[in-house]
Amino acid sequence: MATAKQNKPNVGIWKVLSAVIIIFVLLVGIGAMWKAKSDLSLAPAIAVIPIQGEIGINGAADPVDISKLISKADKDVTIKAIILEINSPGGSVVASKEIANAIKSAQKPTVAWIREVGASGAFWAATSADKIVADPASLTGSIGVTASYIDFAKAMDKYGITYNELASGELKETGSPFKELTAKEKEYLMGKVITLKDIFVATIAANRNLTFDYVNEKATGEVWLGTEAKEMGFVDVLGGKAEAQATAQQLANITKSRLVTMEKPKPLLADLLTGNMGSMSYWIGRGIGDSWTALASNSKIKMDA
């Protein structure tokens, strides 16, 4: 009995010591977490600017909005590099060119990060960055220009509708949806398409330090996987966010960083509701017939990259 009573204090001491050790370990862990967070908050920033959806003026990826974000990041002293997070199939020629010029004009290091899709005009913009990082399974390339228009000529013949043309020149009505293209009009439009394609090719060749002939040979409009694009010299690094961040750090000559996403401010709920109601009333008021007339007047030729 005496022996059992003598051992009881020893058990109590071990319990106290165990509790102290557990508390100590927890405090050390919490301290390390806070230190890591503190270090991260003090780390140099890298801006992440999304380029998502179809590229176009007033489109999902608007060149004005993206250019403003690039300029803002470029002027921010806390930001050391810029990552363009690309997930876009391309879009209009002019809008793609404007985004490419904005990327090119940035004074800070730029990295184009192609996630799922970075094709056509989006690929044009990506090549303006200092380095391109692409997911191995992403879709890139699609170098080329397309021109399209709507042709109602056969439908009009079916319903006995006649299109009367009064134009000051034989090419003035080129691309009118109410008539078929003539051979001369097709040749005329293809000339424009080829000229724009050559500008596209020349820009990529210069950006990627490749020859015009090499890029032109690849300008078939086909898309490539990220792995294929790297083999052809159109991509520098295969990977995702981590690789894009590491590449940006290397270009900025820093060893650690924190990512800061920069996006266009989202509209207020009141603005969204007002815009939707206004749009609905507008289309209902115009009616279907007037909508077709507007479509015809705005759909002559649409050129995309």
Across the 305 residues of the chain, what is the mean pLDDT of every consecutive 10-residue run?
Answer: 51 69 69 51 91 93 97 96 97 95 98 97 97 98 85 78 78 78 87 93 97 96 96 98 98 96 73 50 39 43 70
Q: What is the pLDDT of residue 293?
A: 39
Q: Is 300 a catalytic residue?
A: no
Q: What is the pLDDT of residue 269?
A: 55
Residue-wise pLDDT for 10-63, tens only, equals 666 766 677 667 776 676 666 555 544 544 567 899 999 999 999 999 889 999
Other Cβ atoms less than 10 A from the Cβ of 167: the count is 10
Q: What is the pLDDT of residue 166?
A: 75
Q: Is 79 within 8 Å of 46 (Cβ atoms)?
A: yes
Q: What is the pLDDT of residue 140?
A: 96
Q: What is the pLDDT of residue 295?
A: 41
Q: What is the pLDDT of residue 22?
A: 77
Instruction: Sketch out the chain's domains with CATH numbers.
Output: 39-142+222-276 (3.90.226.10), 144-219 (no CATH)
Catalytic residue among 15, 37, 72, 172: 172
Q: What is the pLDDT of residue 283?
A: 37
Q: What is the pLDDT of residue 264?
A: 82
Catalytic residue among 88, 92, 96, 120: 120
Long-range contact set of residues 33-41: C-beta below 8 Å, sequence gap at least 24: 39/256, 40/256, 40/258, 41/258
Q: Is 172 a catalytic residue?
A: yes
